[in-house]
């Protein structure tokens, strides 16, 4: 059933209670870890119905976030396609009994002639359009081989002709190459026979304890589509409180919690108030002994989560000082990160810590995915849901961008209070430490358009990067891999700016 709010969001008496009604119908307790119970209850309800299966193909499946969501909503994910064998282990562990899991390059994936699907889900890798990718390698957009993976998506749409699809990517895709890439993508979907409906959504608005802005595109052969109304936050009908990070991780497994972060800057984390990052140690924030220049680092550098709010976006890639860090001044455990991304506790993510973080950080949070899947069931598949869904009019403007700017002022006040307290106690952390590190080795790839990434691309050249430091200077060398161990020093001045994203 489809209802959309007009200018007055409370024109219907049921409008203000639709989220509470949804939880009531599914018998979900909204306490800690409620997204797990929501997914289980939704899956159980669908299994009791006599609806025909919605056969679905998952592309660029990654760690399986969208697949969890659509499976819970009753979609039959019959096949998955993922190129990374490390992520495949996770998919096979959790979905092998339900789906055919293909470990293959999307360019090489040719569906069996017998494959028939009603829907396609997935989004290609987003580094070429992301904020981090733009800062590290420039905006290559569709000129980067990774930026043309959507063409493989189009190829499979044209071949399989599903009723519709859900495509997810970073919102930077709309501005890459001055909008040229976005125009190309829209035209390609339309040429394949699909009308597209798109919107940037913040995951926190849908019950995820994390602010994560992503572009979602729903393509349909026929009909219209409206995106679901927020269930949480100031844009929700009754301004339902966000699901906070502190509530989300309560009771999560902390058996193997990492202790501290070490290194040159690790000790600085202790004094940073929850919600702030390295900028606490800048003169602009009023710190009497500034360590960093304003806007000299990524926003997640030494970022300490605020237990009373959703965390900032969890990144798939990062360094020693990449947050979010716990308000207990240590990295979150993998169990806690799963909670912050709304992965079920029972879902097993395979691999070492960094590989698991990659899978979590690259995924669509399942709770956001569930709300989108319900909207598709209702509007596209025609399933009669046991509750009313509420939808955003096309012209409704969300307020999360304005709230993000307001937070800057809130945290500036918080920083001042923390600094005043430290001054009163005379308990500032030492802001300088000897800077001796043993040489570290990393591999990077130089693309034909001079992009500098940690992923191999067609026609890219591999380089070994060795870097270390003493009390006064960074030493950085860039060599062919065979020379890494024999030439630990080298290019320092001329490569410093190019390599800054690797060490900051």
| pLDDT at residue 500 greater than cutoff 50 | no
| Predicted confidence (pLDDT) per residue in 422-443, tens digit | 888 877 766 654 444 566 777 8
Exposure string over 315-351, b if 16+ CB within 10 A, otherwise e:
bbbbeebbbbbbbebbbbbbbbbbbbbbbbeebebbb
Mean pLDDT of 234-239: 92
Token digits of residue 102:
């293909």
More confident site: 157 or 484: 157
Distance (Å, whole) CA 479 – CA 489: 10
What residues make up the domain containing 470? Answer: 437-503
Partnered with residue 313 across adjacent β-strands are: none
Q: Which residue has the tokens 């969208």?
A: 66
271 in the same domain as 361? no
Length of the chain: 504
Exposure string over 268-300, b if 16+ CB within 10 A, otherwise e:
bbebbbbbbbbbbbbeebebeebbbeeeebbeb
Q: Which of 103, 126, 356, 493 is catalytic?
A: 126
Question: Is 356 among the catalytic positions?
Answer: no
What is the pLDDT at residue 291? 95
Token digits of residue 378:
């209702």
| Predicted confidence (pLDDT) per residue in 342-353, tens digit | 999 999 999 999
Determine, yes or no, domain membership for 350.
Answer: no
Mean pLDDT of 185-191: 94
226 in the same domain as 102? yes
Determine, yes or no, domain membership for 24.
Answer: yes
Distance (Å, whole) CA 364 – CA 344: 13
- Rounded to two decimals, what is the model's pTM? 0.82
477 in the same domain as 365? no
Determine, yes or no, domain membership for 252.
Answer: no
149 in the same domain as 92? yes
Total domains, the chain: 3
Distance (Å, whole) CA 148 – CA 134: 16
Distance (Å, whole) CA 61 – CA 328: 33
| Predicted confidence (pLDDT) per residue in 378-389, tens digit | 999 999 999 999
327 in the same domain as 392? no
> φ, ψ for residue 263 (rounded to 5)?
75, -175
Distance (Å, whole) CA 17 – CA 433: 55
Determine, yes or no, domain membership for 141.
Answer: yes
78 in the same domain as 196? yes
Determine, yes or no, domain membership for 125.
Answer: yes
265 in the same domain as 180? no
Determine, yes or no, domain membership for 342.
Answer: no
More confident site: 247 or 458: 247
Confidence of residue 16 (pLDDT cuts 50, 70, 90): low
Question: Last residue of some domain: 374, 398, 422?
Answer: 398
Determine, yes or no, domain membership for 137.
Answer: yes
From the centroid of its chain, how far is CA 153? 20
164 in the same domain as 126? yes
364 in the same domain as 301? no
What is the pLDDT at residue 2? 54
164 in the same domain as 25? yes
Based on its alpha-carbon atoms, the radius of gyration of the chain, rounded to whole angstroms, reads 24
296 in the same domain as 171? no
285 in the same domain as 209? no
| pLDDT at residue 8 greater than cutoff 50 | no
């Amino acid at each position: 059933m489809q209802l959309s709010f007009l200018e007055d969001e409370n024109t219907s008496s049921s409008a203000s209670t639709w989220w509470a009604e949804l939880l009531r119908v599914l018998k979900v307790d909204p306490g800690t870890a409620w997204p797990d119970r929501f997914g289980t209850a939704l899956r159980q309800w669908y299994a009791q119905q006599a609806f025909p299966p919605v056969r679905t193909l998952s592309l660029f499946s990654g760690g399986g976030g969208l697949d969890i969501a659509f499976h819970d909503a009753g979609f039959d994910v019959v096949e998955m396609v993922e190129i990374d064998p490390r992520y495949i282990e996770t998919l096979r562990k959790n979905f092998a009994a339900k789906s055919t899991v293909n470990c293959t390059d999307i360019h090489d994936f040719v569906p069996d002639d017998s494959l028939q699907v009603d829907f396609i889900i997935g989004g290609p890798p987003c580094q070429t359009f992301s904020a981090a990718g733009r800062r590290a390698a420039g905006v290559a957009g569709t000129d980067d081989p990774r930026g043309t993976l959507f063409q493989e998506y189009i190829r499979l749409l044209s071949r399989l002709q599903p009723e519709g699809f859900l495509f997810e990517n970073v919102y930077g895709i709309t501005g890459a190459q001055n909008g040229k890439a976005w125009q190309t993508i829209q035209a390609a979907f339309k040429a394949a026979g699909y009308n597209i409906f798109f919107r940037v959504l913040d995951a926190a608005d849908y019950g995820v304890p994390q602010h994560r802005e992503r572009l979602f595109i729903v393509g349909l052969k026929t009909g219209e589509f409206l995106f679901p109304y927020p269930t949480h936050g100031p844009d929700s009908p009754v301004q339902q409180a966000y699901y906070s990070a502190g509530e989300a991780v309560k009771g999560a497994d902390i058996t193997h919690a990492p202790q501290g972060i070490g290194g040159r800057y690790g000790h600085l984390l202790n004094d940073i108030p929850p919600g702030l990052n390295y900028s606490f140690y800048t003169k602009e924030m009023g710190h009497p002994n500034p360590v960093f220049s304003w806007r000299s680092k990524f926003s997640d550098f030494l970022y300490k989560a605020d237990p009373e709010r959703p965390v900032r976006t969890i990144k798939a890639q990062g360094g020693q000082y990449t947050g979010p860090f716990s308000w207990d001044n240590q990295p979150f455990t993998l169990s806690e990160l799963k909670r912050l991304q709304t992965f079920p506790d029972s879902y097993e993510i395979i691999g070492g810590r960094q590989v698991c973080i990659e899978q979590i950080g690259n995924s669509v949070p399942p709770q956001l995915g569930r709300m989108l899947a319900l909207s598709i069931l209702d509007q596209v598949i025609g399933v009669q849901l046991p509750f009313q869904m509420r939808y955003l009019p096309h012209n409704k403007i969300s307020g999360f961008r304005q709230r993000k700017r307001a937070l800057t002022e809130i945290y500036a006040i918080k920083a001042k209070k923390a600094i005043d307290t430290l001054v009163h106690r005379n308990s500032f952390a030492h802001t300088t430490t000897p800077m001796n590190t043993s040489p570290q080795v990393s591999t990077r790839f130089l693309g034909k358009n001079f992009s500098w990434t940690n992923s191999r691309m067609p026609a890219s050249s591999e380089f070994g990067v060795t870097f270390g430091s003493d009390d006064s200077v960074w030493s950085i060398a860039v060599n062919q891999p065979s020379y890494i161990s024999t030439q630990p020093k080298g290019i320092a001045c001329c490569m410093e700016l190019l390599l800054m994203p690797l060490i900051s």
